[in-house]
Structure 1
Amino acid sequence: MKTVFSAPGDYVHFKSQVPLHKIPIGTKQWRYYDFGPKAVPPLICLPGTAGTADVYYKQIMSLSMKGYRVISVDIPRVWNNTEWIQAFEKFLDAIDVHHIHLYGTSLGGFLAQLFAQHRPRRVRSLVLSNTFLETRSFSAAIPWAPIVSWTPSFLLKRYVLTGIRDGPHEPFIADSVDFVVSQVETLSREDLASRLSLTTDDASVGPLLLSDSFITIMDTNDYCAIPQQLKDQLGERYPEARRAYLKTGGDFPFLSRPDEVNLHLQLHLRRVGVEARPDLVHNIPKGDLGGSPSKESNEDDSDKSHEDDRGGSENSPADYDINPTPESSGSGNLDKQPLDNSECCHLDHEHALYALPGGFKGRTNIPGTSVHFMCHIAIFHLLHSISSLYIIWNYSLEFSQVV
């Protein structure tokens, strides 16, 4: 039976606070998040084949609150590496960003290196995680690569998902896999086909003008979809790069180990000269936070609901019942009424349940003065009945004495 994915609470909060931007640039549609002080050079996150801009939501929320600007983008529908470089440069021009720091995982790390190679003046530093230098091994592993653009959606999704390790995982890694799988379901056939085309396009990263001291390699030591041989090639290419090892984390450490990843990203940005601006971080209003409302709000809501109930009772015929009043003449009939026919019970400030000798009973909305008036009438009839009984008893006593 297929289970329904439930979005994590912090992701729901993220979606309520961070706007999603969608802009068309030429023939490309860009989908991205941009959060944090605009005065700070941004860290741009590039996802892998199975990722979207949403997979970096933990980095966006954490680093932006510390005073860093984080931009997370979806890889648009580009079909070769040259098209990617040109499209990404136009995107940066459109959002008015000139100097950037790139954080890429898997395919995103490969594309980050390509852009740094061909546009060296714009890239200030790189953070590479579980990525590679060339795509030759991937193109050889997919014999149907020439027709990937014609492949049905379900086959593309099956191929992408089979690259994620199956089997029992610890809870945090299992949650990260579930989240990424849910994001894959949102991708169209064209999105998946274009990303697989980038993966199978025979290309490799050439020498970079960027110094190794401005590169951080952050890999997980347990397992990931990228073969260890390709990860070793990356380390050999940048021997002086800073190494950040994660003992565990799987394919998506940015989701399963966000605290460690965020710490390494923060250390990298400090090392390459990015100064955080926590003074420019706008505090989120308390009322915008999720969670249970305050006690005062509950009391106000309950008062309003009671007022609504009272208001509705005025016009609702089901709230009261009017019985026909029996015909009566003189005080003799009043004397015959039982005492319990004259009652007045307060329900609250305005409601009363009352019964008069005339037979009127009901629960209605009447003013307080009317309630007191009804009580006086009931007391009057009660005293009148008692006096009548006393007179009858007195006459009976005198008659018995005469006899």
Structure 2
Amino acid sequence: MGIKGVSSAPGDFIYFKSQVPLHRIPIGTKQWRYYDFGPKVVPPLICLPGIAGTADVYYKQIMFLSMKGYRVISVDIPRVWNHQEWIQTFEKFLDAIDVHRIHLYGTSLGGFLAQLFAQHRPRRVKSLILSNSYLETKSFSAAMPWSPIVSWAPSFLLKRYVLTGIRDGPHEPFIADSVDFVVSQVETLSKEDLASRLTLTVDDASIGPLLLPDSSITIMDTNDYCAVPLQLKDQLNERYPGARRAYLKTGGDFPFLSRPDEVNLHLQLHLRRVGVEARPDLVQIASQGGGSDSGPSEKKDERDGDDTHKDDNEHTESSPSESQVSPAPESSESHSIDNQLLNNAKACYLGNHGETMVLVIINKILLQYVQMICVSLMLSMMDASDSTHLLSLIPDR
């Protein structure tokens, strides 16, 4: 296919990585890589990605919902090789992070694994949000006749197979960006990661009856296209006739990236409907100047390397218990009007005072610098004696 991975990440993802700590904990022989952000007193929404996703793909949901006072946990699917192992390993992970009642948001394979856990551990799952998901794996197994030797296949073949499931061709810009981002995440996955996820996808299994009432389930699908066949999505809808429907007109396979505003709204409505009370009063906005626990730059994860490898902004179990989003570092000695305006802009954004004021402030800043640049260019072209009157054009600071 024509899609190529990209090494660069969107600017807001770089900001996310500088603010939200990445956690790694070993549980038995499994290594869990996850983000946990937001007030700890709130029952968490746990996000499970599809076969091509990582914990990073839900960064737009983490940032939005945590600022609203919700707790969001986004995880990588660990290297498990059958569905029973998934159930046991995921339960041990929840015990390790001291979480007992959860709400699950799963897309594609993540949605299937979420239903599987809800079926076998009904007391722990309070609600489900399923996006572009399915009830059984038989059709995927039939489409992959070489599944018995998937663990022997080379890495390039596994990546190629996963990427062929992502629709190629022209996309509208936001969907194209979401595809590029997910493809870049696939490049970070090791051969073992890909092999285990493909094994979970083709391992013959189906979802049985859930004790969870349909009223606690939201089905959020895109109406344009996705890798999951329409027949499988219809089966899911028929299984849960009383579930809440949240259809997105467009969004492709990764609406959480391509249509984050709509997805975030539906997630927030779902959490409110199932009784999760947000705690915006516990959201702390403090200038920490980057701190020693977070780094401003993004680094590619070395998943094939030693488990002792750490991201610059990785946190251990002693991380702060509440959500803390700090603005970009600023000098304590700088008191210029430009810094003041920038700080005001950040405060307006984080305080939800609307976009109009932010745009006005940004326009003023840009106008100042444009004027200064123009005057500087003109001064360089004239004699010093002719330039005195031009100095008055520079705005007062």
Report the TM-score when normalising by structure 1: 0.72
Residue number in structure 2 paired with 1:187: 189
Contact conserved, 2:6 with 2:184, CA < 8 A, in 1?
A: no
| Alpha-carbon offset, residue 143 of structure 1 | 0.6
Secondary structure of 2:161's partner? helix
| Alpha-carbon offset, residue 108 of structure 1 | 0.1
- Moved >4 Å (runs of 4+): 1-4, 286-296
Secondary structure of 2:171's partner? coil
Contact conserved, 2:215 with 2:244, CA < 8 A, in 1?
A: yes
| Alpha-carbon offset, residue 297 of structure 1 | 3.1
Deviates most, 180-189 or 285-294: 285-294
- Tell me the alpha carbon deviations over residues 238-267 of structure 1, each in whole angstroms, 9 at most, x when there is no partner: 000000000000000000000000000000
What does residue range 303-342 of structure 1 map to in structure 2 within 5 Å? none
| Alpha-carbon offset, residue 292 of structure 1 | 9.2
Contact conserved, 2:287 with 2:327, CA < 8 A, in 1?
A: no
Secondary structure of 1:21's partner? strand
Residue number in structure 2 paired with 1:369: none
Alpha-carbon distance between aligned partners in 1 of 2:240 and 2:288, rounded to the nearest angstrom: 46
Residue number in structure 2 paired with 1:53: 55
Contact conserved, 2:289 with 2:328, CA < 8 A, in 1?
A: no
| Alpha-carbon offset, residue 5 of structure 1 | 3.1
Indicate the RMSD between aligned Cα atoms, in angstroms.
1.8
Residue number in structure 2 paired with 1:12: 14
Q: Structure 1 3/290 Cα, relative in aligned 2: closer, same or farther at 3 Å?
A: farther
Alpha-carbon distance between aligned partners in 1 of 2:330 and 2:204, rounded to the nearest angstrom: 56
Contact conserved, 1:13 with 1:290, CA < 8 A, in 2?
A: no
Alpha-carbon distance between aligned partners in 2 of 1:189 and 1:267, rounded to the nearest angstrom: 38
Contact conserved, 1:214 with 1:241, CA < 8 A, in 2?
A: yes
Contact conserved, 2:119 with 2:208, CA < 8 A, in 1?
A: yes
Residue number in structure 2 paired with 1:211: 213
| Alpha-carbon offset, residue 285 of structure 1 | 1.6
1:25 to 24, 27, 36: 27
Secondary structure of 1:209's partner? coil
Q: Which amino acid aligns with 1:134?
A: E
Contact conserved, 1:50 with 1:160, CA < 8 A, in 2?
A: yes
Residue number in structure 1 paired with 2:146: 144
Q: Which amino acid aligns with 1:234?
A: L
Q: Does 1:71 align with 2:65?
A: no
Contact conserved, 1:14 with 1:61, CA < 8 A, in 2?
A: yes
Q: Structure 1 4/257 Cα, relative in aligned 2: closer, same or farther at 3 Å?
A: closer
| Alpha-carbon offset, residue 80 of structure 1 | 0.4
Q: Which amino acid aligns with 1:122?
A: R
Gaps of 5+ in 1: 300-403
Report the TM-score when normalising by structure 2: 0.73
Contact conserved, 2:5 with 2:187, CA < 8 A, in 1?
A: no
Secondary structure of 2:174's partner? helix
Alpha-carbon distance between aligned partners in 1 of 2:173 and 2:218, rounded to the nearest angstrom: 28
Gaps of 5+ in 2: 291-325, 337-397
Contact conserved, 1:41 with 1:69, CA < 8 A, in 2?
A: yes
Alpha-carbon distance between aligned partners in 1 of 2:183 and 2:5, rounded to the nearest angstrom: 12
Alpha-carbon distance between aligned partners in 1 of 2:112 and 2:49, rounded to the nearest angstrom: 10
Q: Which amino acid aligns with 1:80?
A: N
Q: Structure 1 4/130 Cα, relative in aligned 2: closer, same or farther at 3 Å?
A: closer
| Alpha-carbon offset, residue 296 of structure 1 | 6.1
Secondary structure of 2:31's partner? strand
Secondary structure of 2:334's partner? helix
Deviates most, 32-41 or 284-293: 284-293
Secondary structure of 1:297's partner? coil
Residue number in structure 2 paired with 1:41: 43
Residue number in structure 1 paired with 2:92: 90
Alpha-carbon distance between aligned partners in 2 of 1:3 and 1:97, rounded to the nearest angstrom: 35
Structure ranking higher in helix proportion: 1
1:165 to 150, 167, 187: 167
Secondary structure of 1:127's partner? strand
| Alpha-carbon offset, residue 293 of structure 1 | 5.5
How many residues are treated as equivalent by the alignment?
299
Secondary structure of 1:93's partner? helix
Contact conserved, 1:5 with 1:178, CA < 8 A, in 2?
A: no
Contact conserved, 2:219 with 2:246, CA < 8 A, in 1?
A: yes
- Tell me the alpha carbon deviations over residues 336-374 of structure 1, each in whole angstroms, 9 at most, x when there is no partner: xxxxxxxxxxxxxxxxxxxxxxxxxxxxxxxxxxxxxxx
Residue number in structure 2 paired with 1:256: 258
Secondary structure of 1:239's partner? coil
| Alpha-carbon offset, residue 70 of structure 1 | 0.1
Alpha-carbon distance between aligned partners in 1 of 2:17 and 2:7, rounded to the nearest angstrom: 16
Higher relative contact order (CA 8 A, sep 6+): 2
Residue number in structure 1 paired with 2:349: none
- Tell me the alpha carbon deviations over residues 256-287 of structure 1, each in whole angstroms, 9 at most, x when there is no partner: 00000000000000000000000011114275
Q: Percent identity?
A: 85
Residue number in structure 1 paired with 2:316: none
2:177 to 175, 178, 187: 175
If you compute each CA radius of gyration, which structure gives the higher value, 1 or 2? 1
Q: Does 1:275 align with 2:273?
A: no
Q: Structure 1 80/230 Cα, relative in aligned 2: closer, same or farther at 3 Å?
A: same
| Alpha-carbon offset, residue 81 of structure 1 | 0.3
Alpha-carbon distance between aligned partners in 1 of 2:270 and 2:79, rounded to the nearest angstrom: 30
Contact conserved, 2:6 with 2:183, CA < 8 A, in 1?
A: no
Q: Which amino acid aligns with 2:255?
A: P
Residue number in structure 1 paired with 2:334: 297
Contact conserved, 1:21 with 1:32, CA < 8 A, in 2?
A: yes
Alpha-carbon distance between aligned partners in 1 of 2:222 and 2:6, rounded to the nearest angstrom: 29
| Alpha-carbon offset, residue 3 of structure 1 | 7.5
Contact conserved, 2:49 with 2:76, CA < 8 A, in 1?
A: yes
